[in-house]
Chain A
Amino acid sequence: MQFGQQRPTGRLISLTPLIDVVFILLIFFMLASSYLDWRSVEFTVSSGVGAATSAQRAILISLRADGSVAVGPQPVAERALRTVMTAKLAKKRAQRVVIRSEPGVPLQRAVDTLDLLRSIGATNVSLSRKR
């Protein structure tokens, strides 16, 4: 028995299903992929007994829950923090700075303070919390 030889057709597959599939893939990748630009900040915490002994030399920045800032015991206006810290860090870049936040201070504020200190050249910044 002989099968009639099939002539090659002009187009092997219809284009419409192909376009469907490609469109679905396109929409899938558009929705599933994320374009967030992740960054990371390396930071340390100063805690426990170690902080008590070495904190004498460190500059302590207190972030209070009511939104005020203090450098050491002295209250400082949020805007003046940059100039105050620039003056303090002018001599010693490696000066240890501790950012201590009270309960109620959002993380964003602590990170902003960390950013500010890094931008004026502080290299040794750590976070701590009020006990």
Chain B
Amino acid sequence: MRLPFRQPEEEADTVLPLINVVFLLLIFFIMTGAMHAVDYFNVNPPSSSSAIQGSLDDTVILIGSAGRIAIDNKEVDEADLQLALLDKLAANAGSVVRIKADGRVDAARVVELMELIEAVGVRRVMLLTLRPDK
């Protein structure tokens, strides 16, 4: 049995479902993804199972695997870090500082920087981690 040959429909009728799907995907990616600035250098944060929900909203200090520090996408040394934090504290007293440190960096180095941060007067310091892949 031969089916009758179908005449191709008008172009609009065939591409409309495609546009629908692409629009849906577009809306999905806009709604679910979070966009933020790229880090000054690459950091692989440690994974932790006990951590609570975190965000990247407050002041974030980057600590790279070689012990480099950056704040607000600017590489700094310890003295500059303290100055930058003092500026931030002057603007917003109860601010939270989040440390985004590489998992391979020396723990002692992170503790040393924490001491510097607390010496300036920051009260709450959080360590950013990722949920472990199971």
**Chain A residues in contact with chain B, CB under 8 A?**
11, 15, 18-19, 22-23, 25-26, 29-30, 32-45, 47-48, 63, 101-112, 114-115, 118-119, 127-130
Contact = CB atoms under 8 A, between A and B. Distances in A.
Nearest to A19: B19
Contact of A111 (B18, B56, B103, B115): B103
Contacts of A15: 11-12, 15, 19
Nearest to B104: A106
A129 B111 contact: yes
Interface stretch (B45-53, B70-78, B84-92): B45-53
A40 B126 contact: yes
A118 to B, nearest CB: 4
B120 interface: no
12 contacts: A32-B33, A35-B32, A39-B129, A41-B52, A41-B127, A41-B129, A42-B124, A101-B107, A105-B107, A107-B104, A108-B47, A115-B49
B131 to A, nearest CB: 5
Interface string B40-77: 00000011111111111000000000000000000000
Interface residues of B, number: 51
Contact of A40 (B54, B103, B104, B110): B54
B106 interface: yes
A115 to B, nearest CB: 5
B25 A127 contact: no
A129 B19 CA distance: 58
Contacts of B52: 39-42
A109 B112 CA distance: 16
B105 A107 contact: yes
A23 B11 CA distance: 18
A30 B52 CA distance: 27
Nearest to B118: A45
Nearest to A103: B108
A19 to B, nearest CB: 6
Contacts of B30: 29, 33
B108 A105 contact: yes
A125 B103 CA distance: 19
